A and B are shown apart, each in its own frame.
Chain A
Amino acid sequence: MGAAVHIPDGFLATPVWATLDAAAVPAAGFIVRRAQREFDEGKVPLLGVMGAFVFAAQMINFPVGIGTTGHLVGGALLAFTLGPAAASVVMAAILAIQALIFQDGGILALGPNVVNMAIVGVLAGYLPFYLWGGGKWRKLSLFAGGTLSVLVSAVLALAELAISGVKMPASVLGVSLALFLVSALLEGAITLAVIQALESIQPRFVREPAAGRSFALGAVSLGAVLLAAVGVLFASTGPDGIEKLGRQAGIASHARTLITTPLSGYKVAFLSSSWLSKAGAGLAGLALIYGACLLIGRAVSRNRSV
């Protein structure tokens, strides 16, 4: 019973993968910079080997009952031991290797997968530990972290698929959400059990939650959980996906006029071909998203260093 949804190429609508790719690039850059500040470049073997550990951990089976087994997914465990930024980097590296070597997840879908699992999933998993990891709720926060990390990334993946117009009847959606919930709870139990075993071997492996306290990280983690909550609502109410959303808000037509108006005087024959002009409009939109994410990342990291 594995819980990770690695979206292959061809599943997501172009606006969805392109937006998330454009958002993932600066986000990954930001996370890498943070991880580099905590681990100097020389420590890079540690992160790589811990990534290999997460891979290998799939070979150790946990009995679930009725003859089935489950295994660790690992995002939350890494966040509790290496810190959230380093855990995100390791998970992103795992996703890249899985996409390249194992054809598990697509290349254009790497951005969405990184956002779901490496960034939002890890941060959502770190949030309970960040808030209550020091006090008497520590055990519960470890469990909740493991659960949230899997649940949030699975829900995001489902929401992205639904937005892309992959029709899922309510019954299928319900069954898959129930399955995800079970495997998320399992991840919580495994994470808690492994952390406890680790502490009995060597307490220094598990971080103090205060070590990585930062307002920005907390805010982003909270945002991650909220995003997933919105995703679940959206996936359950709006199965027709992005076209409906676009129609309701009039975004699509609005954006098209906005972007083509400055070009309308110069509409050469080349641009009049419909998909080329659409691609041009799309590229302009992506540049905007990329720029916005870059600026936000810059602002956050500057606030931190002041």
Chain B
Amino acid sequence: MHHVVLERWSRGNSAIHRLDPRAKISALLVFLVVLATAHRNLVTLSAGLLMLLLATLVGARLPLAAAVVRAGIVLPFTVVFVCICWWAGDPARGIALLLKSYLSALAVMAVVSTTPLPALMRGMEMTGSPRFLLMVAQFLYRYLFVISEEAQHMSKAAASRGATSRGLIGSTSRGRSRFRAAAGALAVLFARSYGRAEDIHRAMLARGFQGRFRTLGALRFRTADALFAVLASLAPILWRVAVEKVR
């Protein structure tokens, strides 16, 4: 699964990996807002911001080419709209969509691939996001792979029994029975997930779970983190001010 890559990258050990997640989150938000609200000289602005992101990726010792390609996940969606804008006679907006969506995705990826998810969630919790929601998100991420694997096993088992959902136009009665079989599989997956969740809950209670996660080692916001947050926030702002001065 492709997102395992991100997980591996986030376990790296560079100066950027070691920064406090709050510093990275605040810098990311400033970056995104500066980019999202920009209108003038967008190409020059984007070029500078791209350099900034690439420098961050190099600083974090991430594989540059792979990271640049990975952020392209956003492109299929964007390209559709670029074509629509082009067709509607507004190519400038299409280019703006392309630049903004790609750079935003790359920026988010730069943060997520240098911060393990538990640390990221903890950082978000300390900036005021509802803890319950973040805990649900963390459980979701933890069991994503487990339940997905179960679903894969089920569909593989169904396929080996001869169920092909991609068959050519069959008789409607056969299509209907396939539909019902898929619904049954999904219901079984639901029931198994529900049961698994109850088991997990009991196991956690037995280990003294009291409704909140505890992380080993408290987060410490050091001078270096503050320095990074200020510098990394100022860089895109100053660049945009400079770009907009040029007429």
User: For the complex, is A66 an interface residue (Cβ under 8 Å from B)?
Assistant: yes
- Chain A residues 37 to 85 lying within 8 A of chain B, measured CB to CB, are 40-53, 55-57, 59-63, 65-67, 69, 72, 81
User: In the bound complex, do residue B100 and residue A10 qualify as a contact, i.e. CB atoms below 8 Å apart?
Assistant: yes
With A45-B200, A63-B179, A106-B101 as given contacts, are A198 and B191 in contact (CB-CB < 8 Å)? yes
**C-alpha spacing A30/B28, complex, angstroms:** 26
Most chain-B Cβ atoms within 10 A of its Cβ — which of A6, A55, A279? A55
User: For the complex, is A194 an interface residue (Cβ under 8 Å from B)?
Assistant: yes
With A172-B84, A196-B183 as given contacts, are A61 and B155 in contact (CB-CB < 8 Å)? yes
User: For the complex, is B204 an interface residue (Cβ under 8 Å from A)?
Assistant: yes
**C-alpha spacing A103/B81, complex, angstroms:** 17
Q: Is the interface of B mostly helix, strand, loop or mixed?
A: helix
User: In the bound complex, do residue A17 and residue B36 qualify as a contact, i.e. CB atoms below 8 Å apart?
Assistant: yes
User: In the bound complex, do residue B191 and residue A101 qualify as a contact, i.e. CB atoms below 8 Å apart?
Assistant: no
**C-alpha spacing A200/B105, complex, angstroms:** 44
User: In the bound complex, do residue A107 and residue B108 qualify as a contact, i.e. CB atoms below 8 Å apart?
Assistant: yes
Q: Tally B residues with Cβ within 8 Å of A.
A: 90
Which segment, of B11-19, B162-170, B216-224, faces chain A? B162-170
Contact code string B5-48 (vs A, CB < 8 Å = 1, else 0):
01000000000000000000000110011011100000000000
User: In the bound complex, do residue A41 and residue B183 qualify as a contact, i.e. CB atoms below 8 Å apart?
Assistant: no
User: For the complex, is A177 an interface residue (Cβ under 8 Å from B)?
Assistant: no
User: In the bound complex, do residue B37 and residue A14 qualify as a contact, i.e. CB atoms below 8 Å apart?
Assistant: yes
User: For the complex, is B173 an interface residue (Cβ under 8 Å from A)?
Assistant: no
Number of A-B residue pairs with CB-CB distance less than 8 Å in the complex they form: 260
**C-alpha spacing A279/B33, complex, angstroms:** 10
Chain B residues whose CB sits within 8 angstroms of the CB of A32 once the complex forms: 130, 132-133
Chain A residues whose CB sits within 8 angstroms of the CB of B100 once the complex forms: 9-11
**C-alpha spacing A51/B147, complex, angstroms:** 10
User: In the bound complex, do residue A104 and residue B85 qualify as a contact, i.e. CB atoms below 8 Å apart?
Assistant: no
With A48-B138, A69-B165 as given contacts, are A108 and B104 in contact (CB-CB < 8 Å)? yes
User: For the complex, is A123 an interface residue (Cβ under 8 Å from B)?
Assistant: no
**C-alpha spacing A65/B151, complex, angstroms:** 22
Chain A residues whose CB sits within 8 angstroms of the CB of B180 once the complex forms: 193, 197
Which segment, of A87-95, A209-217, A288-296, faces chain B? A87-95
Chain A residues whose CB sits within 8 angstroms of the CB of B71 once the complex forms: 103
**C-alpha spacing A42/B213, complex, angstroms:** 11
- Can you name 24 A-B pairs with beta carbons within 8 Å? A8-B78, A10-B96, A10-B103, A28-B133, A36-B132, A42-B205, A43-B201, A45-B201, A48-B136, A49-B140, A50-B194, A51-B140, A52-B147, A52-B193, A53-B193, A56-B150, A56-B189, A63-B175, A63-B179, A103-B70, A106-B104, A167-B90, A205-B194, A275-B37
Q: Which residues of A contact B (CB under 8 A)?
A: 6, 8-11, 14, 17, 28-29, 32, 35-36, 40-53, 55-57, 59-63, 65-67, 69, 72, 81, 89-90, 92-94, 96-97, 99-104, 106-108, 161, 165-169, 172, 189-190, 193-194, 196-198, 200-202, 205, 273, 275, 279
